Amino acid sequence: MADAGKRLDVFLAEKTGFSRSHVNKLIKSGAVFRRRKAGYQVKEGEKVIVENCCYPEAAGFTQPMPKVVYEDDFLLVFNKPAGLVVPLDFHHPASTLADYLHEAYPQAEIVHRLDKDTSGVILVAKDQKTAEILRKQFQERQIKKEYLALVTGKLEPEQGIIKAPLSRSLRDRQKIDVSASLKAKAAITKYQVKSHLGKFTLAKVEILTGRTHQIRVHFGAIGFPVAGDKTYGNKKINESLKKKAGLSRQFLHAEKITFSHPATGKQMVVKAPLPSDLKSALAKLKSDDSK
């Protein structure tokens, strides 16, 4: 069998004529018999059944193009714009970073995520071996991720560590809660105040665990929600901030990532500049604070 050993997504794309992006959506949805992963290697004599091929083909990448801030033969680092969803998502056809990668870098694998409305650095492996090495670094907490966050209120003390386990909310499955449940996962967030700006605080934040919505939930839990956060923030303050500083999304930016290069072992430090919307909001708050 000439196809033996091929990745499942490659095999299906060749046999069906669908794009790799569309095939991966089908695999993610559970439509492929036996629910194999995209990287599964097809075996000789194996029958592969796709139970539902009716999901419409994407009409092209429709979101702001992610900018490459570093690239070599093994990996990519993007500066993800706010509004761009990272994983494949049926609710965002042809408009996720994963969709873009499946067209521009067919063998690439995403090794971590950022929330839709969080901007900044995101690390992508160009092949499966590199992805495995980077995922292991994440699991062993060898990769350092630093963010800039504007939070509501005068954050004190000047530096601190937030340790609070997180789990999916029982009241709203789209949210994450601090939880004492045995199923909750440990989550650790470090912060250092950079400056106080009136009723807000700009802080450098490092996460030692990569939980969904971690920074947003942790700061909300201690009474200093991320400014502009529509899910965990203060609605009235967010509306006021939008009028005052033009901020229409959460002020959270993945500024820097530090890791060991999977091929050379060299320490890599890659940064993403603060986007214009956050720069503008910060400048207006600084201007008002100096009056």
Helix 97-104, helix 20-29: angle, nearest 10? 140
Q: Are residues 91 and 25 in the same domain?
A: no
Residue 89 has pLDDT above 60, yes or no: no
pTM of the entire structure? 0.79
Q: Which residue matches tokens 């409305």? A: 117
Residues 44 and 72 in one domain: no
Q: Are residues 31 and 124 in the same domain?
A: no
- Give buried/exposed letters for 271-290 (b at 16+ CB in 10 A, else e): bbebbebbeebbebbeeeee
Residues 229 and 123 in one domain: yes
Residue 105 lies in a domain: yes
Instruction: Give the structural domain span for 26.
Output: 1-55
| CATH number, position 174 | 3.30.2350.10
The reply to whether 147 falls in a domain is yes
Rounded Cα distance between 94 and 149, Å, is 29
Residue 62 within any structural domain of the chain: no
pLDDT digits (tens, 9 = 90+) for 198-239: 999 999 999 999 999 999 999 999 999 999 999 999 999 999
Q: Give the tens place of pLDDT for each residue, 253-273.
A: 999 999 999 999 999 999 999
More confident call, 48 vs 105: 105
Considering the domain architecture, whether residues 72 and 191 belong to the same structural domain is answered as yes
Same domain (yes/no): 2, 119:
no
Q: Region 54-76: what's the mean pLDDT?
A: 72
* Residue 23 belongs to domain with CATH number: 3.10.290.10
Determine the Cα angle at 134 with ends 123 and 92, to 5°: 45
Whole-number Å distance between alpha carbons of 206 and 187: 12
Residue 235 exposed, middle or buried by CB count within 10 Å (0-12, 13-18, 19+): exposed
158 and 251 in a common domain: yes
Of the three residues 55, 83, 99, the one that is the final residue of a domain is 55
Do 197 and 90 belong together in one domain?
yes
Residues noted as catalytic: 115
Mean pLDDT of 152-176: 94
Strand partners, 193: 203
Last residue of a domain, one of 34, 55, 76: 55
Examine residue 60 and state whether it is found in any structural domain, yes or no: no
Residue type, 267: Q
More reliable by pLDDT, 61 or 282:
282
At 54, is the pLDDT very low, low, confident or very high (cuts 50, 70, 90)? very low
Has residue 88 got a pLDDT over 60? no
Q: Tokens standing for 77?
A: 């680092």
* Same-domain status, 160 and 270: yes
Q: 94, 226 in Cβ contact below 8 A?
A: no
pLDDT band (50, 70, 90) for residue 119:
very high
